[in-house]
Amino acid sequence: MKRKNILSKRLLVVGGVFSIVFMVLVSRLIYLMIINGSNYKELAFKQWTKTIKSAPKRGVIFGKNGSELALNGDIYRVDVDLNVLKKYLADKKIPEEQAVSQLAQKLDIKSSEVEKILNRKDSKGRLLQFVLLKGKVEKQVVDTIKALKYKGIIISSDVERVYPSDSFLSHVIGHTNSAGDGISGVEQSYNKELAGVPGVKVTEVDRDNNELPYKEAITVKPIDGKDLTLTIDEGIQELTEKVAKETLIENSAKSVSITIMNPQNGEVLAMASTPGYNLNKPFEEGKTYSKIQETWKNGAISNAFEPGSIFKVVTAAAALKNYVVGDQERFVNDGSIKIGNTTLYNDNKEKYGVETFSDIIKNSDNVAFVKLGQKIGKKDLYKFTKEAGFGRKTGIDLPGESTGLIKNFDSIEPIDLATMSFGQGIAVSQVQYIAAFNAVANGGRWIRPHVMKDISHKANGKKVVDKSYNDLGEKTIIDKEKAALLRTYLERVVKEGTAVDTYMKGYHIAGKTGTANAVSSTNGGYDSGKYIASFAGMAPANNPKVSLIVTIEEPNSSKYYAAKTAVPAAHKLFSELFKILNISPDKR
């Protein structure tokens, strides 16, 4: 009886031990199969498969008239499956040094670099499986590599962006990095649409990493990127860049930016900032990276400057909108006005006497505009300025846009209101200003500037539009009749005022000049002897089909006024634009 009890106890202990072991094993299996099963499955999948990516073709960038501005070169990349290559060399009794020498010679790489690549290891000291030997390899070189007949060498299409016209439209187009991703211009802002989706080839392999012949590879073809058509008119862009370069040289200026638009729909027809840069060689030798990045900046959207008298167009529009001025209004001007403890003057202390509203615009009368600003009042001038888009980004479809600068409403003192009325104490970008200026041109509508016309793809050799630009953000900021009246005043500036050198018989150009001191980047004050000269214009004045703005940064101090710098540039532009846009003169 005693022995039976002992045996029962032993069986109970053994059974308990087995039960515990069984439970541990079951728990472990649950952990391995259910809780962590997906991770182990992924590891196993990696062991018995290999994946090779294939690059999609990046979309082509076209000009409005069909010119190819950015396209893809016929280029390849050479990858190596190290396991397969090393086994092949061993089986064929080919010394690795020989393979290294041959590959280095054909790919124009140092033997030491090839040797390093073929023995590259991971963080745990294990030989990597797939390594890139060289990218951006031309077809004739690839053919010599194929002739070696080495197993484990993988040839595939690579990303190579080509810009046929080098620096043409450089700041708008932008460029890509070594991985093929856009890092500036529309290459960046439309990278997702242009890039496409990489394809993959997944094959099963044996223990030696050779493809299994009876297993079909899983291939997902790459999806090529969409094509992008810009609003840029290639002929107008060529003219704009030519004039920008000439203006830069003629005025010994630091930079020149020009933007030309269709004011009726927000399309940018041309945009040039000089100096530009070579899109095929964006990393200029001898320059620091920060200096190189400066050359990539699009001055028309990134640079904020004091607009000076071109801002009087905005003040005049605010006055008309708020019914504070009319043709019967008279301004008496003795050349100066005192605001608190500060006395403000006309540019050369001119005394214009009694003037109409049209006169103060024609004469670009600072003192009269201070009085006009006071009539409008801080609240309404500030409100209209914000409605016109100042102090915030326009949302143009290009990266790097500046917000400009307007003081907070509560911090605007009487002196700030006074100087703001004639374009000092605020900062605007060129594209920000022309968006507001276009509202005067098109009958009162603010429309978002844009450079994308449409996104498309090819089907059976024909263009299929996937999306046209429609993010216009359109809003009315001034009545149609008042915008038309203001255009007549601005036409008088060209016929009789500060922009008279823009005048062309038979054509009706409306515009405004502006000359402002350059703001110091170090102390926020003004840099002595440095100026920003601008001209904004539109034509024909009664129904504008084109608008433009020319901004010259730091022209020669001996002739820095806009009338002597920006106006001659505008004259060159308009004289050719009338021909390109088929705008005929009349007999008036």
Inside any domain, residue 140: yes
Beta partners for residue 539, in sequence order: 546
Instruction: Answer yes or no: do 447 and 335 share one domain.
Output: yes
Of 159, 178, 206, the domain-final residue: 159
d(CA 516, CA 306): 6
Instruction: Answer yes or no: do 399 and 492 share one domain.
Output: yes
Q: What is the CATH number of the domain that holds 334?
A: 3.40.710.10
* DSSP-assigned letters across all residues of 447-495: ---B-EEEEEEEETTEEEEEEE------EE-S-HHHHHHHHHHHHHHHH
Q: List the one residue out of 196, 200, 247 whose CA is nearest residue 220.
A: 200
CA terminus-to-terminus distance, the chain: 134
555 pLDDT exceeds 60?
yes
Instruction: Answer yes or no: do 423 and 307 share one domain.
Output: yes
217 pLDDT exceeds 70?
no
395 pLDDT exceeds 70?
yes
Task: Average the pLDDT over 215-221 and give the result.
Answer: 64
Phi-psi region of 570 (alpha: psi -120 to 50; beta: other; left: phi over 0): alpha
Contact 316, 439 (CB under 8 A): no
Inside any domain, residue 366: yes
Task: Average the pLDDT over 296-324 and give the result.
Answer: 96
Instruction: Answer yes or no: do 155 and 243 share one domain.
Output: no
171 pLDDT exceeds 60?
yes
pLDDT at position 466 is: 96
Question: Per-residue b/e over 58-69, b at no fewer than 16 CB within 10 Å?
Answer: bbbbbbbeebeb
220 pLDDT exceeds 90?
no
Instruction: Answer yes or no: do 307 and 438 share one domain.
Output: yes
Contact 513, 555 (CB under 8 A): no
pLDDT at position 202 is: 67
For residue 186 the two structure tokens come to 């529309």
pLDDT at position 193 is: 97
Pairing of strands 227-230, 61-62: parallel
Inside any domain, residue 46: no
Inside any domain, residue 73: no
Local structure of 351: helix, strand or coil: coil
Instruction: Answer yes or no: do 352 and 485 share one domain.
Output: yes
Q: List the one residue out of 286, 264, 270 whose CA is nearest residue 231.
A: 270
Extended strands (E) in 253-361: 255-262, 267-274, 304-305, 331-333, 336-339, 342-345, 353-355
* DSSP-assigned letters across all residues of 206-270: -TTSPBPTTS--EEE--BPPPEEEES--HHHHHHHHHHHHHHHHHTT-SEEEEEEEETTTTEEEE
569 pLDDT exceeds 70?
yes
Instruction: Answer yes or no: do 153 and 253 share one domain.
Output: no
The pLDDT-based confidence of 139 (bands split at 50, 70, 90) is confident
Least confident of 123-127, 234-238, 318-322, 469-473: 123-127
Q: Kindly state the percentage of the chain with pLDDT values over 70.
A: 87
Instruction: Answer yes or no: do 248 and 149 share one domain.
Output: no
Instruction: Answer yes or no: do 243 and 103 share one domain.
Output: no
pLDDT at position 338 is: 94
Instruction: Answer yes or no: do 333 and 427 share one domain.
Output: yes
For residue 436 the two structure tokens come to 């507001």
Residue 435 vs residues 247, 380, 519: alpha-carbon distances, Å: 23, 20, 23
pLDDT tens digits along 415-474: 999 999 999 999 999 999 999 999 999 999 999 999 999 999 999 989 999 999 999 999
pLDDT tens digits along 11-45: 666 666 666 766 766 666 665 556 555 655 554 54
Chain centroid to CA 155: 33
Task: Average the pLDDT over 514-539 and give the result.
Answer: 86
The pLDDT-based confidence of 122 (bands split at 50, 70, 90) is confident
Domain of 106 in residue numbering reads as 78-121+129-159
For residue 44 the two structure tokens come to 């196993």
d(CA 245, CA 258): 11
Inside any domain, residue 114: yes
The pLDDT-based confidence of 376 (bands split at 50, 70, 90) is very high
Task: Average the pLDDT over 2-12 and give the result.
Answer: 62
pLDDT at position 30 is: 64
Of 143, 159, 175, the domain-final residue: 159
pLDDT tens digits along 256-308: 999 999 999 999 999 999 988 999 999 887 788 888 888 999 999 999 999 99
Inside any domain, residue 53: no
Instruction: Answer yes or no: do 433 and 528 share one domain.
Output: yes
Residue 129 vs residues 46, 246, 424: alpha-carbon distances, Å: 11, 56, 64
128 pLDDT exceeds 90?
no
Task: Average the pLDDT over 96-124 and give the result.
Answer: 89
Into how many domains does the chain fold? 2
210 pLDDT exceeds 80?
no
Local structure of 130: helix, strand or coil: strand
Of 144, 159, 174, the domain-final residue: 159
Task: Average the pLDDT over 481-498 and give the result.
Answer: 96
Inside any domain, residue 203: no
Task: Average the pLDDT over 74-84 and give the result.
Answer: 86
Inside any domain, residue 245: yes
Q: Which residue has better confidence, 241 or 30?
A: 241
What is the Cβ-side half-sphere exposure of residue 451, based on CA atoms within 13 angstroms? 30
Backbone angles phi, psi at 347, to 5 degrees: -55, -50
The pLDDT-based confidence of 216 (bands split at 50, 70, 90) is low
